[in-house]
Structure 1
Amino acid sequence: MDMTLLVQFWVLGVLLVLVPGPDWAYAIGAGLRAQSVTPSVLGMLSGYVVVATAVAVGVGALVTEYPVALTTLSVVGAGYLLYLGTTALTAQTGEGMAAGDAPVADGGSAQFVKGMGVSTLNPKGLLLLMALLPQFVSPQGWSSTGQMLVLGGLHVLNCATVYFAVALLSRKLLGSRPGAGTVMSKIAGVMMLVVGLGILGEKAAELVG
């Protein structure tokens, strides 16, 4: 595998993961909970493992070839983001809920599933990896599938580094400040709503056009 391409992908991947979006909003929410951030972040990472594997083995391309399938994924993903955003905005305090998090009483498995939904149901993530991974595959050496699996794994590591940092920093900086935590929870909820509505708007424009 071409190490130059690997390094180039790593650098670009870090820059892309550093751009705030739904994953950031959910990671911030995980940090503002009293329980561990690990289940939520691991859920998001597991979702990206699924997406990257789908792209590497060709399932992602198959989905995009059928407009109905991609539209369905987009609508479901947008609806999920709207649900998380609405939940965040209607939470009573910043202690138990943020960016769609359930009350602290929810177990780690519930947070894991929610985190996985955030990354798996985000059509932007699928389309981004579909656009990027093939560009960094060398025609020599390993099979294209093997190379894309390695690149996908590197993307997951980038996500792990950034999202754990975001979650832990939000806990450290905002966990002891309920007022600031509540404000950040609302901002995270708005981010979810904006992205969800944006996806629905794009699909509506495509149908009208």
Structure 2
Amino acid sequence: MDVQLLVACSVMMTLMVLLPGPDWAYLIAAGTSGRSILPPIAGVLLGYLVVVAAVAVGVGAAVAAVPWVIVVLTFSAAAYLVYLGVRVLRDPPVVAAATDGRAELDASAGPAPVAASDRPWLRLAQGAGVSGLNPKGLLVLVVLLPQFTDDSGSWPIPVQLAVLGLIFVGCCALVYTVVGFGARAVLRLRPSAMKVVSRVSGAAMIVLAGALVVEQVPHLAGWA
């Protein structure tokens, strides 16, 4: 692959990951849940790996050629974000006093803001749902990624797409690990801010859902 294309694509994908979106809101909420942040992070990465695999085998081109598929996925993502956001607002985390005098997240005092179960696989599935339906991720992997491939390169196009997609997932792993663990670390130092941040992240998911729907209105108007 062309090194310049690879660098340009890496910079573009890193900037896209750094833009706050549904993944950020979900992982911040998960970071305040009092449970391990690893399953939600792994779930988000798994969702993107599935999309990368689909793009590499040609599904991405087929999706891009059928505009209504993106619209359906966007509305599905919006509905899912509203569901998660409402759960966060209804069941914020609880702060309990630890034996050493420091405030700790109390996972037993009520439902977690994003996951209603201690089962890691369920939180992993939730994370995969958030990223797999995230229009921003789909935009990067389905629309932007093919623009950085080289038809004259020595690697087949599917291999190039897979490599570029894995770079994107690597960027996500780095940024979202910092976001998830950073949210938890900050909130442990400032437990009084936990409910505020949790509710802000829940509201952010609902607002982002509305923004996703608004973005699709011109497409719907064009079909009318």
Q: TM-score, normalised by structure 2?
A: 0.85
| Distance in 1 separating the partners of 2:69 and 2:11 | 32
Aligned to 1:116: 128
Percent identical across equivalent pairs? Answer: 43
Residue 13 of structure 2 contacts residue 140 of structure 2 at CA under 8 Å; is this kept in 1?
no
Residue 32 of structure 1 contacts residue 175 of structure 1 at CA under 8 Å; is this kept in 2?
no
Q: State which drifts further: 53-62 or 155-164.
A: 53-62
Residue 85 of structure 1 contacts residue 191 of structure 1 at CA under 8 Å; is this kept in 2?
yes
State how 1:54-65 maps to structure 2 within 5 Å: 54-65=54-65
Aligned to 1:155: 168
Gaps in structure 1 of 5+ consecutive residues: none
| Distance in 1 separating the partners of 2:36 and 2:156 | 39
Residue 35 of structure 2 contacts residue 118 of structure 2 at CA under 8 Å; is this kept in 1?
no
Shift of 1:180: 0.6
Question: Any idea what SS the aligned residue of 1:175 has?
Answer: helix
Aligned to 2:141: 129
Shift of 1:107: 1.2
From 144, 148, 160, give the equivalent of 2:157. Answer: 144
| Distance in 2 separating the partners of 1:131 and 1:121 | 15
| Distance in 1 separating the partners of 2:82 and 2:137 | 17
Q: Which amino acid aligns with 1:53?
A: A
| Larger gyration radius, structure 1 or structure 2 | 2
For the pair 1:206 / 2:219, whether they are aligned, the reply is yes
Q: Which amino acid aligns with 1:61?
A: A
State how 1:35-114 maps to structure 2 within 5 Å: 35-93=35-93, 95=105, 96=107, 101-103=114-116, 105-114=117-126
Q: TM-score, normalised by structure 1?
A: 0.90
From 191, 197, 204, give the equivalent of 2:210. Answer: 197
Number of paired residues? 207
Q: After superposition, what is the alpha-carbon deviation per residue over 1:34-92, rounded to whole angstroms, capped at 9, x for unaligned?
A: 22111100000011111122222221221232233222212111100111111111124
Residue 64 of structure 2 contacts residue 142 of structure 2 at CA under 8 Å; is this kept in 1?
no
| Distance in 2 separating the partners of 1:170 and 1:92 | 15
Question: Any idea what SS the aligned residue of 1:25 has?
Answer: helix
Gaps in structure 2 of 5+ consecutive residues: 95-104
Aligned to 1:27: 27
Q: State which drifts further: 56-65 or 191-200.
A: 56-65
| Distance in 2 separating the partners of 1:51 and 1:141 | 24
Q: 1:64 to 1:137 in 2, by over 3 A?
A: closer
What's the C-alpha RMSD, in Å, of the aligned pairs?
1.9
Aligned to 1:3: 3
Q: Which aligned runs of 4 or more in structure 1 are off by greater than 4 angstroms?
A: 94-98
For the pair 1:179 / 2:192, whether they are aligned, the reply is yes
Question: Any idea what SS the aligned residue of 1:89 has?
Answer: helix
Q: Which amino acid aligns with 1:11?
A: V
Q: Which amino acid aligns with 1:33?
A: S
| Distance in 2 separating the partners of 1:107 and 1:179 | 27
Shift of 1:176: 4.4
Q: Which amino acid aligns with 1:166?
A: V
Aligned to 2:177: 164
